Structure 1
Amino acid sequence: MKNFKKVVGLLLTLMMIFTMGGCSTKAGTDKKGIKDGVYTGEGEGKGGKIVTEITIKDSIIKEIKVIESHDTEGLSEAAIKEMIDKVIANNSPDVDMVSGASITTKGLMEAINSALAKAGANANNLAKVKKVEEKEEAAEQNYDVVVIGGGGAGMIAAIEAKNAGANVVILEKMSFVGGNTMISGGEFAASENWLQAKENIKDSADTHYNDTLKGGDNKNDKTLVRKLADNALAAATWLKDYIKVEFEDELMFFGGHSVKRSLVPKGASGGEITKKLKAKVDELKIPVKLNTKASQLVTNDKGRVTGVKAEKNGKTIMFNAKNGVVMASGGFGRNIEMRKKYNPKIDEKILSTNSVGSTGDGIVMAEAIGADLVGMEYIQTYPICDPLSGMLLYMDDARLVGGTILVNKEGKRFVEELERRDVISNAITQQTGQCTYEFWDENTTKISKIAENHPEEMKYLITNKLLVKANTIKEVADFFGVDAKELENTVNRYNTFAKSGKDTDFNKRGKLTEFGAGPYYLMKAVPAVHHTMGGIKIDDETHVISKEGKVIEGLYSAGEVTGGVHGTNRLGSNAMADISVFGRIAGVNAAKGK
């Protein structure tokens, strides 16, 4: 009898749960069949499951909370907030997606619609509300400094301009800040840093300078490289101490560098940097004008840049800049026509890791007023990217701690794993299927923290059959149709190199780590456009230089929109040093109008 009562009680409880349909409060049903209450729903975002909690009363969506999300921090937060605001303002799930975060917003809307369905609500039967009009921007606005671009370089420039006493505004064409910095790994190359001191790694600004010149085939502007190398440590320290960026207690060894010098932000993601930069922007009360696309640099009769015309909601706004304009709008990796114009080989067949906002707008605007451009043909591909989307793969961090090998379909190594990005990418395109397979073991997974830092990416790759984990080398090889016997031979040969400390096949730099027992991992990858080295010509004080070789007064530039710093090829983790060193200089100089 006792057991019978338990079973009946359990059945009644389950019936109540199903009847409520996920509602956590007592629901009343209106004439449209919509039940008041709080409902949960699920969708699938870029990084995995998105769970929402929606409160409905009198056919009105009162509140939407995201209680679980694994998408890119910063990008997802901004996109989700914009979508939630739209849904609540219109009291309807029938709203436009956010540009640049379509996978995240699609997953969010799946979750919202799932929750609404439990309440019997949809776009057709929710109460009609008067559309809330966005407050219109003033047609003309006055600032000391106008910064174009809300990525890493732009936010850094704005912060330093504000601290130099200027009234500053940031114009960002996307609905969120962060740019390519946010979706990067965020690693920062700085010689003589605090972790090198702990590890007794001998390094210097001169060594960093020489590595960067060599990495760019000596096509770099030497004065810019000198400024970069000499000021990288101060910029990294500024990020750590003033911006409060948290760095991991480890360094990475990026290809092309002669020593291990790259600092790693918390979580091995640029999201840590952009989140902290945005927090400082907010703390300093610097206005950020989102969905505001700069379209034209305005000059006076002497050729000095005095402001920016921008477009928002179909209207033109004039942003006057008393002291200066900082162009920090990013590169052109997503602009296929511009890529083909300067380098026909980098066509639509090659995917891109870049933000959808990387379309070269700033380069076009600067050139229109006479700015010189340099190195536009130099376009870098990152070697280890998602064959489906072009997304940079954070799993590749395993390679940067020295614990992987790259093999081809035949199971053989074909390039030094810590070579320059362009060298590895070019080598990959010569292999069967124009792809590579990255091999590592469980020990490397633990050392690199890739499973800990990027669990959703690992899940995504396994689900899409781009990564396999198995107990034997033969199993991982067979999964992709890689020659298993040859892969076993390659691993055994590499282990002899690890024991002797010298790679006689490819002279791999850094520590050689022997592969141990399984499980083993094998990941398929292809190169994708990652960085455009060319752009606006600047001097080492970030003044924009004209085609006649003169300074364009009132215009400064920093970040990927500029050219000359990296020559033909950017070394990994030099981008963070670039945006930080030159972003800081641009902000201070623009504030002073010097």
Structure 2
Amino acid sequence: MRFNKASMAVAAAVMSVFALQAFASPVTTTGTGVGKDGEIKVEVTFDANRIQSIKVLSQQENPVLSKKVFTDLKDNVVKTNSADLDVVSGASFSSRGFLAAVKDAAKKAGVTLSKDGQKSLKKVSKAIPAKSGYDVVVVGAGGAGFAAAIEAKRTGASVVVLEKMPSVGGNSLISGGEMNVARNWVQPKLGVLDDSPERHAQDTYIGGDKKGDLSVIRTLTGRALETAKWARDYVGVRFEPDNLFMFGGHTRKRALIPVGQTGTEFITKLSAKADSLGIPVITNMKAVELLRDSTGRVTGVKAEMDGRPYEFDAKGGVVLATGGFGHNAAMVKKYNPSLDERFKSTDSPSATGEALYMAERAGASLVNMQYIQTYPICDPVSGTIELIADARFDGAILLNQKGERFVEELERRDVISHAILRQPGAYTWVLWNDKIGSVSKTVEAHPDEYAAFTKNGTMKTCDDLKCVADFTKIPYKNLKATVDRVDSMTGKGNDRDFHHRAGLVDLSQGRYYVVKAVPSIHHTMGGIRINPKAQALNAKGEPIPGLYAAGEATGVTHGTNRLGGNAYTDILVFGRIAGEAAAWDALSASYRNKN
């Protein structure tokens, strides 16, 4: 077949058009990065050297903490055509993993992204008026804050939640989430038939060296069951149906365990309930001062976002649910100099304590500030709680570098922490086997921790004790002797060495799990003085009108030491009390004004 020059020219032109179209067509590639809890995989579509869309194919990050990574940060990457952006505060590892995945996809596509993303990202003012009014203003979007807001709304009040972080949850999200409740619905299944709110109250009072306010403690334990049922039946929180934890310092097994064994179950359900009730939750909004009228009544909150001032008036009152100050190293050292730079923290970056001083300037009394708890079993690398080692509550033992037990594993957190610090190297090894693991289910419940701790070299799975000895460098002879002694004392009441209150469990058979642990700063018992009505009190013990507080921001519930499992009981019980009381204040004020 022959072609004349004209036809060849046409053909060449057509081919050129097709070539240009092919060059200009969108290109889609995948990229991967590593977040806090595993691999993040994205699919990115590019067109004309710009990002058109990003689809997250898979990720294992905490759904609450990472929410803004996969919404706001993702949108900003597309908007700026850049992966060089600031990370989301409180979700830095997730942010870096996501941004790395986008960069990986761009590299595969041969696309050069902008290096000036942060400069080109213009702050867009949200549709929030400079001044607004509500019946109740809640400061802090953790468990206590959500409980207060939900109850205020149910009572009939208008309510807003202010959260200084980009995401909700705070310490309530990253905790184990267990909740102590006497006479709960699981106890009869496990043969626990003689518990009571008063027994729980006495355990709490004695566990805090009798420094707590017994009237507040009795409110905590007396309303625990109704609050747990509220969480289960109204909020939708799921609990393990046939399992409880017995934390150190308790005389009965009474801690309900949320599905997943973290606070994520609570916060996702509380957040969803608040959303369904139409409660606005404003993130990145930092409260800076309490507003008061001429009589001293708290009437609202001054706040800031992106350097701009806002004012939220509260007809009924303000609920401070801002948590403690365990992530503020300078503040911790100020009140307890022994907790110096050696200690990492388990706490959320939000736990910095400024709101306590805000309350103090409004007349509130701060008490027990020197009582700061360390959690004994934490990751030596990051300082975070090793939830996987909650197997301790079902029989795991603590060993020092000599292979010796040195404390009762169910002792109070402060007692165990101090005992660990006295051991060679100031660390411990936590050892358990599949017999214990089948009850605790901690490895199953925390696969991310299992992978992370194994990868960083602080955890090992072994088929026999020789493997455990090789990994830990504990002399095998000593390790075997300790395990043999434990096996000779199994069952309740048989621990002749440390009187293990729940009874030791047989460790003669593997598979074994062992993880290294150190104490980290965990809970600040001090804070705003309150009464059983969650009212903030001044130095004379008088209520400050319009000011309520709940959760770790308060300072009279736990005395010198908080018992494990009491935090969620505390935040939900007093969060509900505070929200309802502030709402009734607002409704009463409206009634008085009308009449």
TM-score, length of structure 1 as denominator length: 0.92
1:341 aligned residue = 334
Structure 1 unaligned regions, length at least 5: 1-26
- Which of 303, 315, 319 aligns to 2:308? It is 315
2:316 match: secondary structure: strand
Question: Could you tell me how far 1:308 is from its partner in structure 2?
Answer: 0.4
1:194 aligns with 2:188: no
Q: Distance in 1 between matches of 2:365 and 2:390?
A: 37
Question: Could you tell me how far 1:67 is from its partner in structure 2?
Answer: 2.2
| Greater shift in the superposed pair: 472-481 or 97-106 | 472-481
2:30 match: secondary structure: strand
Question: Could you tell me how far 1:499 is from its partner in structure 2?
Answer: 5.7
1:483 aligned residue = 475
When the two structures are aligned, how many residues end up with a matched partner?
A: 563
1:70 aligns with 2:75: no
1:384 match: secondary structure: strand
1:77 match: secondary structure: coil
1:471 aligns with 2:463: yes
1:146 match: secondary structure: strand
1:152 aligned residue = 143
CA contact (8 A) 1:41 1:111 kept: yes
Question: Could you tell me how far 1:446 is from its partner in structure 2?
Answer: 2.6
2:571 aligned residue = 579
1:99 aligns with 2:93: no
1:29 aligns with 2:29: no
Query: What are the equivalent positions in structure 2 for 1:116-195 lying under 5 Å apart?
Result: 116-124=106-114, 131=122, 133-195=124-186
2:279 match: secondary structure: coil
Q: For 2:145, give the aligned amino acid.
A: G
2:386 aligned residue = 393
Q: Distance in 1 between matches of 2:329 and 2:116?
A: 42
1:507 aligned residue = 499
Question: Could you tell me how far 1:60 is from its partner in structure 2?
Answer: 3.8
| Greater shift in the superposed pair: 258-267 or 82-91 | 82-91
1:535 aligns with 2:507: no
Question: Could you tell me how far 1:51 is from its partner in structure 2?
Answer: 1.2
CA contact (8 A) 1:296 1:310 kept: yes
Deviations 1:524-579 (A, max 9, x none): 00000110000000111011001232211101000100001000000001000000
CA shift in 2, pair 1:571/1:113, >3 Å: same
CA RMSD of aligned residues (A): 1.8
CA contact (8 A) 2:484 2:508 kept: no
Q: Distance in 2 between matches of 1:570 and 1:81?
A: 37
Q: Distance in 1 between matches of 2:441 and 2:352?
A: 33
Q: For 1:450, give the aligned amino acid.
A: T
CA contact (8 A) 2:388 2:442 kept: yes
Query: What are the equivalent positions in structure 2 for 1:559-578 lying under 5 Å apart?
Result: 559-578=551-570
CA contact (8 A) 2:491 2:503 kept: no
Structure 2 unaligned regions, length at least 5: 1-20, 589-595
Deviations 1:49-98 (A, max 9, x none): 11112233344433322222222231122333231122123232121111
CA contact (8 A) 1:161 1:590 kept: yes
2:42 aligned residue = 52
Deviations 1:183-206 (A, max 9, x none): 000000000000002223021011
Query: What are the equivalent positions in structure 2 for 1:170-569 lying under 5 Å apart?
Result: 170-201=161-192, 202-249=194-241, 250-400=243-393, 402-498=394-490, 502-569=494-561
Deviations 1:17-74 (A, max 9, x none): xxxxxxxxxx9434xxxx6133221111111111112233344433322222222231
Q: Distance in 2 between matches of 1:192 and 1:571?
A: 18
Question: Could you tell me how far 1:180 is from its partner in structure 2?
Answer: 0.2
Q: Quick one: percent identity of the two aligned structures? A: 48
2:544 match: secondary structure: strand
CA shift in 2, pair 1:132/1:382, >3 Å: closer
Q: Structure 1 runs of 4+ off > 4 angstroms?
A: 125-132
Question: Could you tell me how far 1:513 is from its partner in structure 2?
Answer: 1.6
- Indicate the structure (1 or 2) with the bigger Cα radius of gyration: 2
CA shift in 2, pair 1:536/1:124, >3 Å: same
CA contact (8 A) 1:79 1:176 kept: no
Question: Could you tell me how far 1:125 is from its partner in structure 2?
Answer: 8.9
